[in-house]
A and B are shown apart, each in its own frame.
Chain A
């Protein structure tokens, strides 16, 4: 409608979380001049890439009203599998990665099937897989880390094109692809529809089970990409590489404004949510804030941001 006001108030209301990000950046920029440098921003973007890529996958799951707790340990297990193949089995780098991808997609498929067909709650299924994959990651090498990753693989996490690190490029490519899927393709509609009203969507002729299964496969796929980037960055296959990532990932989505009950969420929100977390991490370290105070501050800021968003939504 043309008479919808484009006032400043509305802008804040719709893009509140972007303003939070700007405020946080301004704060650290003023507090410490070494924060607001081009090279530090590139560092932040590199640091955020793994969480952001993984959050994009999580968004699909959240849109349909599900949740995926297994992403952290997918990151770990994918790292372990590929490292094991490359180093211990001396396999070709490309084949190793392919094997890791196949493994992740299979995990996602099984999760999806259990959730959609047997109607087991997503929370339970993915929590079970969290443990299964954790055990699996440690069992592979009896808990030992794998070193000596070939240089050709390190490029993914450590290489640069011009000034821009490859993880950052991969992240933006993933963001673009996700954006195309959710807002340009027809099946992007289905993710929102299932989260909005599953029964009505099914009665509209959409195979809702398939849509749900697909979200877990996509989530596992993105987690796998994140896992490969992560392993390459630190050039080590460590079983606890991805430990706790699920929390950062879900927080990033939640902070950005992706609805936990399904049906709404945008790609930019996921990026902004992940960025807020990364900027906080980076800024607090630069300011030499005590680690425990960092935790408290991060928690408080998180609550404030989410509360602000909730208040805005309730008023609408």
Chain B
């Protein structure tokens, strides 16, 4: 079995930057990602798609090609199409690639598993035709596929960006329905302070909005009473805005109200997490290098807390440097010297988060859904069910599993975990920290017996 100095899960900006830097310091690095090609979410498929539609996707997207190029020439063993489903003591990482199980041993592990979109439980959100805005963007980036009649719903820069990319591709959305209000934006401006970068973000957002307006995309702000209508698939979005009720017939609804860390891998290792009120999600507890309370396990990028692509890149490098120092490849002095400019960029980039968090707050109706709304997509549990469990004495998400099947379906709570915590916390008058989160156990993704059998065979062959 291979043993490396550093195994990295996730080939987004955090993982790619960390891998290339660690390899440059002389470390043996394996980079595992379940996607067929490097890039992560923001730079999905950049090596193929930049040439085809880089103009639609914009320079923030094509920047990713610098990272994939550095990775290619780094000597990193990048295993694509590798789904990591267990990380055990020592550390042993088990993964599946092409239907075969395999393992790699590593002295240290960097989790760079990125974010997922914040669950947005609204009436009708499980109907075919309802997807996340990120999914719509992935369809465009990776496959060149566009929704002909889509409505975008929610809040945040990614919603604007997706809308603008659709417009540039010649299929503008039918409408942009925002849940944030004008006063959210005005209130957030106070947090811009003197940070020039903050103003740039603001201008970028306003620029996208102006582009959408010129393109004739109808925009509604402060939408409430959101519901997706349809029997077998999405047929319309209804909502109230500006004192009027609206109904927009459509085939596709793209939902988005921010992204939250993908914590599955970190949770499965038992890493301590704390509630972050500003981002309304749990974050792994890390030191200034990104190392967790499980020595040797690091977390960087959006899986460590939402900071965006640039933060992910530099935080990945910071973790890689610390690993190089811990493995004896560089001295403490060298570590500090190389870390200083990274920290400066991180501080500058992170200074805009308070503004972004306040300008685009999550949609209140989706944070505390109506009783009849499904919150667990897999097992079809409603918000009312969870409130009912609370009234019967249920205090935490793991206990909820004794009352019903929330979180026990194939997505393993990825799209209901935060909602269940929020509903129980609210019903019991407790903090999210006291309420807790699902215990996540391996396998992180289902593994078949065939894949396991292949893994035993490979191990045996190696032993012989």
Query: Do A and B interact with each other, yes or no?
Result: no
- B interface vs A, CB < 8 Å? none
